[in-house]
């Protein structure tokens, strides 16, 4: 049986191999989450140890892609945490209206459910036509699903309650077209959305954003990577721009806590200060 130290070293080597061979940097992801997902992957392959999969990661692109997908956290749903979307309606949209055009970065958008949720809010609040949403993720497979905007019908029916609690103003069924057990989001909700690959661990800023959504992503990063991502967001936001994090994330213990004021603590919405 291998010692914890040896297992730790093997995981370090695996993550370094992925980074050098494919450019995906998971070295600063929260260790417990990475170890849990590697164990799940090992169980799916029948391999007994991390050392067995490192050579296959080097030589087999498809095998490596399967592993990388295990590191992508795609847990999401329409209008997840309805209080957040209600707060966006009531506390963020009024200020977004003051700009002639608003640019929004939805970082770590996964399979897109929350992107369409935000598009619906902007549409109902009358500013969708002068907004652009940049929806990004490092997982190309998840991005393809987001672009398609096709989801299980059961999940959209369950989202109706979330939509109503988020202050929805119409019938939620108006925003998708059902067929058999699937439903496609209305094409109008894609008109102002640009889906694109982006890795918060290694890629650069998106400039001049008025609102950045990055919900339930930072919890999978260690402190250094959290600060790297928050640095990208802070540099990308205009003065007075908004940052929306997950309900279990906040800025209090980060290097950027003094650069924001709290807009809604429960919804984890912050506003970038005008620095002297």
Domain boundaries, the chain: 4-70, 82-272
Give the bridge partners for 193, in sequence order: 133
Question: What pLDDT band is residue 112 in, cutting at 50, 70 and 90?
Answer: very high
Is the pLDDT assigned to residue 74 strictly greater than 70?
no
- The pLDDT assigned to 18 comes to 86
DSSP state of 221: B
Return the CATH number of the domain spanning residue range 82-272: 3.40.50.150
> What is the pTM assigned to this prediction?
0.84
pLDDT digits (tens, 9 = 90+) for 11-24: 899 988 988 887 77
Is the pLDDT assigned to residue 73 strictly greater than 70?
no
The answer to whether the CB of 202 falls within 8 A of the CB of 22 is no
pLDDT digits (tens, 9 = 90+) for 193-213: 999 999 898 888 888 999 999
Question: 133 in helix, strand or coil?
Answer: strand
Closest CA to 117 of 153, 82, 145: 82
C-alpha atoms less than 13 angstroms from C-alpha of 223 in its C-beta half-sphere: 5
By residue count, the chain amounts to 276
The answer to whether the CB of 240 falls within 8 A of the CB of 274 is yes
d(C-alpha 51, C-alpha 265), whole Å: 44
Q: State the Rg of the chain over Cα.
A: 20
The token duo for 185 is 């989001």
pLDDT digits (tens, 9 = 90+) for 139-177: 888 899 999 999 999 888 889 999 999 999 999 999 999
The token duo for 69 is 């997908």
Is the pLDDT assigned to residue 253 strictly greater than 90?
no
- The pLDDT assigned to 129 comes to 97
Phi and psi torsions of 117, nearest 5°: -60, -45
């Amino acid at each position: 049986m291998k010692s914890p130290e040896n297992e730790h070293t093997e995981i370090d080597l695996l993550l370094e191999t992925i980074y050098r061979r494919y450019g995906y940097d998971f070295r600063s992801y929260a260790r417990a989450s990475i170890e849990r997902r590697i164990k799940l992957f090992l169980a799916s392959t029948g391999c007994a140890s991390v050392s067995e999969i490192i050579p296959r990661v080097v030589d087999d692109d498809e095998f490596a892609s399967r592993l990388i997908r295990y590191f992508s956290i795609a847990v999401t749903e329409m209008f997840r945490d309805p209080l957040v979307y209600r707060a966006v309606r009531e506390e963020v949209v009024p200020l977004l209206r003051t700009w002639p055009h608003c640019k929004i970065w939805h970082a770590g958008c996964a399979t897109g459910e929350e992107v369409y949720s935000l598009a619906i809010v902007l549409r109902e609040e009358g500013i969708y036509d002068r907004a652009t949403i940049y929806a990004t993720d490092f997982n190309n497979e998840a991005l393809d699903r987001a672009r398609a905007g096709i989801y299980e019908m059961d999940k959209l029916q369950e989202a109706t309650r979330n939509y109503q609690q988020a202050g929805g103003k119409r019938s939620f069924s108006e925003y998708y077209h059902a067929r058999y057990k699937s439903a496609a989001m209305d094409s109008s909700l894609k008109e102002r959305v640009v889906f694109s690959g982006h890795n918060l661990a290694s890629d650069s800023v998106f400039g001049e954003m008025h609102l950045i959504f990055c919900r339930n992503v930072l919890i999978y990063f260690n402190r250094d990577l959290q600060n790297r991502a928050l640095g990208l967001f802070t540099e990308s936001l205009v003065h007075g721009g908004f940052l929306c994090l997950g309900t279990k994330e906040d800025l209090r213990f980060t290097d950027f806590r003094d650069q924001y004021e709290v807009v809604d603590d429960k919804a984890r919405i912050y506003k970038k200060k005008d620095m002297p």
